[in-house]
Chains A and B, each alone.
Chain A
Amino acid sequence: MKILCAFLFAGTLCFLAQVVLDNTKLTPGHVTSLFTILGAFFGFIGLYDTFISFAGGGATIIISNFGYSLYKGAFLGFQEQGLIGLFSNILKYSSCAIAGVVLFAFVLTLIFKPKD
């Protein structure tokens, strides 16, 4: 059941993104940035927690989760440490994705040759 929810949630978001891509002049860069901001917004109004408990991996694999985890890090950081927590904890939950991309991409760049 959870798998079906994940399928529907991730699918619906990708569907919406494709509709935006096809009917406006926005590039994929615009759309991914837009969905990241939307993720932070849905975190702010408290909906993204519901999305994750409802769709699980389907909600955490979408780029919106990146915006949400930045929001969550900053928000919880403030409650732990005050104003400095906003800065020091903002990347707490999303550093996994950033560090992962940096490490994997760098190591693979050293190994593989670019295509012509």
Chain B
Amino acid sequence: MNKDEYNKLVKRLTPKENKTKNAIIAFLTGGFIGAFAEILSMVIMSCFAISKVEAYQWTCLIVIFMACLFTCFNFFDNLVTKAKAGLILPTTGFAHSVMSSALDYKRDGLITGVGANFFKLAGSVILYGIVSGFFFALLGVMIYG
């Protein structure tokens, strides 16, 4: 069997994912989390009489905590596999990646395991966020003054 035939075989046998279905599921779960965050921040804002920005930060913390806790209870992994981008793109994905790499490397010890691998997956978000934020801010300062 030459390479072309092999590639054709691989293409034929690779399970086809339903892209439309995936996209709709991502839309619904992502939207649900967005709506949930908005409702939660409205509740927090009216109950504790704090500013909008603080309410958003509290919401963010609560969502992060829930994502971490659900990851510990083992069912968040299955949810992420099903909902894909709907749970990866919100802050839940960030929390999930930190939590799961911390848990996975727990048996290697607290320093070489948890400490060294804590930001294994989420590190790229922090790195490119800071780099892009810095340079856009520099550019913004030059343009807007």
B-binding residues in A (CB < 8 A): 2-15, 17-19, 21-23, 28-29, 31-33, 35-37, 39-41, 43-44, 55-63, 65-67, 70-71, 73-75, 77-79, 86, 90-91, 94, 96-98, 100-102, 104-106, 108-109, 111-115
Main secondary structure of the interface of B (DSSP, over half): helix
In the bound complex, do residue A15 and residue B30 qualify as a contact, i.e. CB atoms below 8 Å apart? yes
Q: Which 9 A-B pairs have the closest CB atoms?
A: A10-B34, A14-B30, A11-B31, A70-B133, A58-B34, A74-B137, A57-B38, A57-B37, A18-B26
Check: B130 CB closer than 8 A to any chain A CB: yes
In the complex, which residues 66-89 of chain B have their Cβ closer than 8 Å to any Cβ of chain A? 68-69, 72, 74, 84-86, 88-89
* Set of chain A residues within 8 Å of B22, measured between Cβ atoms: 18, 22
In the bound complex, do residue B59 and residue A109 qualify as a contact, i.e. CB atoms below 8 Å apart? no
Chain B residue at minimal CB-CB distance from A82? B141
* Set of chain A residues within 8 Å of B88, measured between Cβ atoms: 17, 28, 31-32
Check: B8 CB closer than 8 A to any chain A CB: no
- Expressed in whole angstroms, the Cα–Cα distance for A40 and B106 within the complex equals 33
In the bound complex, do residue A44 and residue B139 qualify as a contact, i.e. CB atoms below 8 Å apart? yes
Taking the nearest CB of chain A, how far is it from the CB of B116, in angstroms?
A: 13
- Expressed in whole angstroms, the Cα–Cα distance for A23 and B23 within the complex equals 11
In the bound complex, do residue B38 and residue A3 qualify as a contact, i.e. CB atoms below 8 Å apart? yes
- Partner of B140 from the list A10, A56, A59, A71 (CB cut-off 8 Å) is A71
In the complex, which residues 25-67 of chain B have their Cβ closer than 8 Å to any Cβ of chain A? 25-42, 56-57, 59-61, 63-65
The residue in A28, A31, A41 that gathers the most chain B C-beta atoms within 10 A of its C-beta is A28
Chain A residue at minimal CB-CB distance from B17? A22
Check: B14 CB closer than 8 A to any chain A CB: no
- Expressed in whole angstroms, the Cα–Cα distance for A71 and B144 within the complex equals 14
In the bound complex, do residue A19 and residue B23 qualify as a contact, i.e. CB atoms below 8 Å apart? yes
- Partner of A114 from the list B36, B39, B104 (CB cut-off 8 Å) is B104
Chain B residue at minimal CB-CB distance from A14? B30
In the bound complex, do residue A11 and residue B106 qualify as a contact, i.e. CB atoms below 8 Å apart? no
Check: B112 CB closer than 8 A to any chain A CB: no
Chain A residue at minimal CB-CB distance from B84? A18
In the bound complex, do residue A12 and residue B138 qualify as a contact, i.e. CB atoms below 8 Å apart? no
In the bound complex, do residue A37 and residue B128 qualify as a contact, i.e. CB atoms below 8 Å apart? yes
Taking the nearest CB of chain A, how far is it from the CB of B114, in angstroms?
A: 6
Taking the nearest CB of chain B, how far is it from the CB of A32, in angstroms?
A: 5
In the bound complex, do residue B138 and residue A86 qualify as a contact, i.e. CB atoms below 8 Å apart? yes
Taking the nearest CB of chain A, how far is it from the CB of B38, in angstroms?
A: 3
